[in-house]
Amino acid sequence: MATSSMMIPDLGGAENVEVIEVCVAVGDTVNEGDSIVVVETDKASMEIPASSAGVIKSIALKEGDTCSLGDLMVEIEGESESAPSVDKKQSVLETEVAPEVSAPELSAEPAVSAQVVSEQLALVPDLGGSTDVEVIEISIKVGDEIAEGDSLIVLETDKASMEIPAVFSGTVVDVKVKEGAKVNVGDTIAVLTTKASPIIAQVAAITQPKSDVAAAAVVADSTAPMDKALESESAVAGVIASGVSHAGPAVRMLARELGVDLTKVAATGPKQRVLKEDIQAFVKQKLQAPAATAAQGHGIELPPTIDFSQFGAIDTIKMSKIQRITAQNMTRSWLNVPHVTQFDHADITELEIFRKGLKAEAEQKGTKVTPLPFMLKACAMALRQFPQFNVSLDNDGEHIIQKHYLNIGIAVDTPAGLMVPVIRDVDKKSIWELSEEVIAMGAKAKNKKLMPADMQGGCFTISSLGSIGGTAFTPIVNAPEVAILGVSKALMQPHWNGSEFEPRLMMPLSLSYDHRAVNGADAARFTSFLAKVLGDIRHLVM
Ligand code: CAO
């Protein structure tokens, strides 16, 4: 067993290069090719692999150090006969090329020291989340000399057309897109030849096993937002570092093992390098995501997060707990329940005459009677008549739970958010009792005095916007209930009585129902029944 020194190899002429990652610890067993350190110049980051297998005995560099050709990297005890020497070019630089690019072949020739021509790909940048965007114009052709900032192509989304500028200069040798084609972030627009600096040439020479991989290894930073005008140097850095993101091979290996797309990982390392911790955080967030997305909507992608302040002044206001719960409940209902809404009108002309006639008596009793208690009573009757509306679907997908009680919730809009207190045993209560209870529950809701029990046990819900206005709306079923009645403002309308038009007070009804539990014909029967009962409230005593 011999102990040998492993040195920093030729870094393409670069000196005082920063060590950004030490990939080994004393005592580690490494194989030939395993990364020892990662260094980064202002143009590239590179791994310096072990030139032979062995056990690390000491490490001469730490993160943040600078190093140059010939500096001691590590001492390693292994089977190699002699210490690798820089002059023998036994160390191999491996740049952070895309994982698909195979291990480089050793070039026996010294690194290229003059400027050389290399091919680079001009890629479609981040399109602000748009996908399959149409190319409406090609602004370049083979042979064109283009400068950084020149327009390559013009794209058009359904919202805007945009020019895609070159982020580096060069000569067009191939145009990869056609007018009318649909492109996405990362797609190749064109292949350009550019004059690369020595270090690029060095890296390219070492890392390109085949000439046709050259372009793949030398790709522009596809993650650059389109509005980010990269300076040529940083564009080149992107070119060298990776086709997709900055990360060391160990990190890339971890990403590959976990099936993580590095371009999706937020980098927190120096110079926006993706660290192992970033991948771990990404995976953790993804593992936690199902719970969140379930609440958000069965894994359906959320709308894009937009910085609205770029369009004008904004405030970000914390939602109340009730608003958050309501949002979750609404989303859950909307996504779980196949909704249909049945519209109808009830002629409440006579009901209103009767109701107004109760005014004096109501005042005497210290209460007030609105159309709502009549609606409650009529709905209880309709639920009795059509029991398929007084059910909940078992989550096992195989059973329906039939309810034999008649509790009805009333939606109450309060400053804190929407609440639905439940009026129990509506069928057993008088209009007077219901009036008092509606007023009491409405007040409790507005004064934040409702107890959880006040909001439980509903069979059906009424959402009345009658005191406000509107002609109809489509309420969302308050699942696990299977139907909800929306009531809009009653208006005097001409009604054909068979021989002439007469003015009648017509109240719009909007019945949303869960089409798994209720069919359309029953919904039409339900609203017709309601219209009949409200049209002649003598039915309420039948
Ligand atoms: N058509 C025409 N007028 C109607 C009506 C209708 N469909 N429904 C109610 N009105 C009238 C009432 O008769 C009353 O007028 P009068 O005082 O002249 O009789 C007026 O509108 C106000 O009624 P109200 O809102 O005080 O009483 P309500 O029984 O209709 O509603 C409750 C009770 C608790 C819902 C109510 O206190 C409330 O908060 N209303 C606001 C609306 C609301 O929040 N709706 C829930 C929507 S959230 O989905």
Nearest CA owner, ligand 1 atom 20:
467
In this predicted structure, what is the pLDDT of residue 298?
Answer: 61
Is the pLDDT at 202 greater than 70? The verdict is no
* Ligand 1 atom nearest to CA at 356: 19
Ligand 1 pocket test, pick from 355, 437, 448, 464 with the greatest ligand atom count within 8 Å of Cβ, gives 464
CA of 370 to the centre of ligand 1 (A): 7
CA of 432 to the centre of ligand 1 (A): 16
Report how many domains make up the chain: 2
In this predicted structure, what is the pLDDT of residue 427?
Answer: 97
pLDDT tens track for 134-188: 888 899 999 999 988 888 998 877 656 678 888 888 899 999 999 989 998 888 8
Domain assignment of residue 470, yes or no: yes
CA of 331 to the centre of ligand 1 (A): 26
pLDDT tens track for 352-364: 999 999 999 999 9
Rounded to an integer, what distance in angstroms lies between the CA atom of residue 64 and that of residue 497?
91
Same domain, 184 and 328: no
Mean of pLDDT values over 65-74: 90
The answer to whether 511 touches 375, Cβ cutoff 8 Å, is: no
Last-in-domain residue among 173, 196, 219: 196
Rounded to an integer, what distance in angstroms lies between the CA atom of residue 422 and that of residue 401?
19
- Catalytic residue flag (residue 246): no
- Choose the weakest-confidence range: 87-101, 271-285, 299-313: 87-101
CA distances from 295 to 281, 318, 330 (A): 21, 18, 10
Domain assignment of residue 449, yes or no: yes
In this predicted structure, what is the pLDDT of residue 111?
Answer: 37
Taking CB atoms and a 6 Å cutoff, what residues make up the pocket around ligand 1?
370-372, 410-413, 418, 438, 442, 463-468, 487, 489-490, 507
195 or 395, which is more confident: 395
The answer to whether 89 touches 72, Cβ cutoff 8 Å, is: no
Its pTM surpasses 0.85 = no
Rounded to an integer, what distance in angstroms lies between the CA atom of residue 527 and that of residue 511?
7
In this predicted structure, what is the pLDDT of residue 251?
Answer: 78
From the candidates 246, 298, 339, 515, which is the catalytic residue? 515
Q: Which residues contact 252 (CB under 8 A, 6 or more apart)?
A: 96, 99, 262
* Ligand 1 atom nearest to CA at 490: 1
In this predicted structure, what is the pLDDT of residue 378?
Answer: 98
pLDDT tens track for 40-49: 776 666 778 8
Nearest CA owner, ligand 1 atom 10:
467
Is the pLDDT at 64 greater than 90? The verdict is no
* Ligand 1 atom nearest to CA at 468: 42
Domain assignment of residue 452, yes or no: yes
Residue type, 387: P
Nearest CA owner, ligand 1 atom 37:
442
Burial of 6 (0-12, 13-18, 19+ CB in 10 A): buried
Structure-block tokens of residue 421? 């207190």
CA quadruple 73, 79, 83, 84: dihedral sign: negative
Mean of pLDDT values over 359-386: 96
Task: Give percent of the chain above pLDDT 90.
Answer: 49
Domain assignment of residue 418, yes or no: yes
The answer to whether 135 touches 177, Cβ cutoff 8 Å, is: yes
In this predicted structure, what is the pLDDT of residue 207?
Answer: 32
Is the pLDDT at 233 greater than 60? The verdict is no
Task: Give percent of the chain above pLDDT 70.
Answer: 79
In this predicted structure, what is the pLDDT of residue 119?
Answer: 78
Q: DSSP string spanning 146-167?
A: E-TT-EEEEEE-SS-EEEEE-S
Q: Does residue 126 sit in helix, strand or coil?
A: strand
Res. 249 pLDDT band, cuts 50 70 90:
low
* Ligand 1 atom nearest to CA at 372: 29
402 or 92, which is more confident: 402
The boundaries of the domain holding residue 448 are: 323-541
Res. 127 pLDDT band, cuts 50 70 90:
confident
In this predicted structure, what is the pLDDT of residue 40?
Answer: 78
Rounded to an integer, what distance in angstroms lies between the CA atom of residue 246 and that of residue 94?
14
Rounded to an integer, what distance in angstroms lies between the CA atom of residue 201 and that of residue 93?
13
pLDDT tens track for 467-517: 999 999 999 999 999 999 999 999 999 999 999 999 999 999 999 999 999
CA 103 to chain centre: 36
Res. 63 pLDDT band, cuts 50 70 90:
confident
Is the pLDDT at 214 greater than 70? The verdict is no
In this predicted structure, what is the pLDDT of residue 35?
Answer: 85
Ligand 1 pocket test, pick from 358, 423, 467, 534 with the greatest ligand atom count within 8 Å of Cβ, gives 467
Rounded to an integer, what distance in angstroms lies between the CA atom of residue 112 and that of residue 232?
21
9 or 442, which is more confident: 442
The answer to whether 9 touches 69, Cβ cutoff 8 Å, is: yes
* Ligand 1 atom nearest to CA at 445: 34
Is the pLDDT at 191 greater than 80? The verdict is yes
Domain assignment of residue 57, yes or no: no
Domain assignment of residue 515, yes or no: yes
CA of 356 to the centre of ligand 1 (A): 15
Mean of pLDDT values over 402-426: 95
Is the pLDDT at 295 greater than 80? The verdict is no
CA of 291 to the centre of ligand 1 (A): 38
Is the pLDDT at 440 greater than 90? The verdict is yes
Domain assignment of residue 38, yes or no: no
CA of 53 to the centre of ligand 1 (A): 82
In this predicted structure, what is the pLDDT of residue 290?
Answer: 53
Domain assignment of residue 152, yes or no: yes
The answer to whether 332 touches 291, Cβ cutoff 8 Å, is: no
Beta strands (DSSP E) in 141-248 are 145-146, 151-156, 161-165, 170-175, 182-183, 188-196, 246-247
Res. 105 pLDDT band, cuts 50 70 90:
very low
The answer to whether 220 touches 239, Cβ cutoff 8 Å, is: yes
* Ligand 1 atom nearest to CA at 355: 19
Is the pLDDT at 55 greater than 70? The verdict is yes
pLDDT tens track for 384-397: 999 999 999 999 99
Residue 510: give its domain's CATH number. 3.30.559.10
Virtual torsion, Cα 224, 225, 231, 234, nearest 10 deg: -20
Nearest CA owner, ligand 1 atom 34:
442
Mean of pLDDT values over 190-211: 47
* Ligand 1 atom nearest to CA at 464: 45
In this predicted structure, what is the pLDDT of residue 288?
Answer: 66
CA of 470 to the centre of ligand 1 (A): 13
Same domain, 189 and 327: no
Last-in-domain residue among 144, 171, 196: 196
Mean of pLDDT values over 127-139: 83
In this predicted structure, what is the pLDDT of residue 296?
Answer: 53
Q: Does residue 88 sit in helix, strand or coil?
A: coil
The torsion angles phi and psi of 190, rounded to 5 degrees, stand at -155, 160
Ligand 1 pocket test, pick from 348, 353, 370, 493 with the greatest ligand atom count within 8 Å of Cβ, gives 370
451-454: long-range contacts (C-beta < 8 A, 24 or more apart)?
454/421, 454/422
CA of 415 to the centre of ligand 1 (A): 16
Burial of 331 (0-12, 13-18, 19+ CB in 10 A): middle
Is the pLDDT at 224 greater than 50? The verdict is no
- b (16+ CB within 10 A) / e for 377-404: bbbbbbbeebebbbbbbeeeeeeeeebe
102-108: long-range contacts (C-beta < 8 A, 24 or more apart)?
102/209, 102/213, 103/33, 103/209, 104/206, 104/207, 104/208, 104/209, 105/209, 106/206, 107/205, 107/206
Last-in-domain residue among 170, 196, 222: 196
Mean of pLDDT values over 451-461: 95
Residue 156: give its domain's CATH number. 2.40.50.100
* Whole-number average pLDDT of the chain: 80
Is the pLDDT at 241 greater than 70? The verdict is no
In this predicted structure, what is the pLDDT of residue 106?
Answer: 31
Is the pLDDT at 267 greater than 50? The verdict is yes
CA of 393 to the centre of ligand 1 (A): 31
